[in-house]
Structures are given as structure tokens and as C-alpha cells.
A = this chain, B = another copy of it.
Amino acid sequence: MEISIDLLLCDAVDFPGETYSVSVLKVGYCLPQTDGTFRADGTVTLITGPRTVLVDTGGAWDRDFLLASLRERGLEPADVELVVGTHGHSDHIGNLGLFPTAVTIVGHDVSRGDTYRPNGLAGGHAYVVDEHVIPSPGHTGQDVSVQVRGTSAGTVLVAGDLFECCSDEGSWQHLSMNTAVQEVSRQEALRTADVIIPGHGLPFRISSLERRQGGTDVMPSPLVDWCENQEPSLIQDYLT
């Protein structure tokens, strides 16, 4: 007997909850181009409830998109109380300047204006907003993710580039500063979250199944195969 983890792309980008709701404003992508460049943007996620939290702000080119997305939801930038940059790459922290008065977490730094607060992120401790929203460390260097408990889909982890996308096995390692540390964090995420919102792909659901193992070979998950086949086109639909 072994535990088999299947990953299933979600058919929605909104995860309502009684206390906090999670909405993906933009699905991140990473698309190699024929000229050797690649087009990429980071997933942008809004968490609404007792506090309004934005996780990642996309690239600098997303400014107008971000303003419009907030306004569609009746929000101005000043309504965002906490901005989290999961890590300091340009496709995730391009629009911090829209939120000069918000509490800002980028990696392990917590600040409001030019005042930086001591915190335990670098030491492995979470920065608790409340019991439902918990920026947590442990990824590729100074990264954080945000765990939102109690949504209709269970616990949602807004994971930044801890996961590139649903089907990143074999590719995330090339982008990792420390594969051993990141692997531990990924396993913890798969163990504790029901839905993961990755940095460059659609949200996916984690399904843990007990599976009787007849031999040393384990059948690969057909759902992972399905992800690999479906995701690029699905992501394309989300390109602005």
C-alpha cells in the first residue's frame, strides 16, 4: 500500500470561503518562444475577507491590468492592506509602487513605508495575519507562500514559484536556487494544502489516494499526463 498523490487542474480560479475568499486575477505563464526568449508572467491572486491581501503583483507591464481588475471588484489600491511578493523576481513584484501604504512582505522582509519590522520568516516562522491567512517561508531562498484556510475548496496555498505549474516535475529544478530545500517545501505543501495556486500555471487540486502497489513499478497518474497535455492551451486563454 502506498499513498498516491494525484494533481488535477481546477476548473475555476475563484475559491469562495466563509471568512476569506481567494481569486486568481491573472494566471501566470511561462511560454518558450522560437527565438530563444520566453514570455512569462507571475500569477496574481487576491484574497478578500476581513482583510484584503494581494499576493504577487505581476510584472511592471501589468499595472493597468491590475488596476482594472481591482476596480472590477470595487477596490482601489489603497484598499489593499497587505501585499505579499512571494519572491523578488520581476514578474512577481513589478507593481509594489501601487501600494505605498500597505504592509508589504517581499520574501522575508516585512515593512510599511520605510519601516521594516522584525519577524521570524527567515527563521522558519510564519507571519500570521490571522488564523486563516499565513505567509510562510521555506522555499527557494527567501520565498514565502500564503496559506488560506477554510475556503470551499479547503486549504488553498498561494505558492509563488514553489510550484511552476501543475505539471512541473522535471522542470522546476532548473529554476531552483536550492532543490533540496525546495523539494522539502513542496512535499509539505502537497501534504497540507487541498489546492495549490502555482506561480506560472492554473490552480490545481491535490488528491491523495491510497493505492495498492503490486510491484515496484507505479503507474504514472493519468491526471498528470492530462495536465501536461492541456495546460499550455488553457494558459493561452488567460493571456491578456
Contact = CB atoms under 8 A, between A and B. Distances in A.
Nearest to A115: B37
Given A60-B97, A100-B63, A90 B115 contact: no
A98 B97 contact: yes
- How many monomers of this protein are in the complex? 2
Q: Determine the main DSSP class of A at the interface with B.
A: loop
Nearest to A33: B115
A97 B94 contact: yes
Contacts of A37: 115-118
A130 B6 CA distance: 50
Nearest to A90: B106
A97 to B, nearest CB: 4
Given A39-B116, A61-B100, A141 B177 contact: yes
Contacts of A57: 97
A117 to B, nearest CB: 5
Interface in A15-31: none
Max chain B Cβ within 10 angstroms of own Cβ: one of A57, A109, A116, A177: A116
Contacts of A97: 57, 60, 63, 94-98
B89 A109 contact: yes
A67 to B, nearest CB: 10
Given A90-B106, A97-B97, 10 more contacts: A38-B116, A88-B106, A88-B107, A90-B96, A90-B109, A90-B111, A91-B116, A94-B97, A96-B97, A142-B177
Q: Which 5 A-B pairs have the closest CB atoms?
A: A88-B88, A90-B106, A95-B97, A60-B96, A60-B100
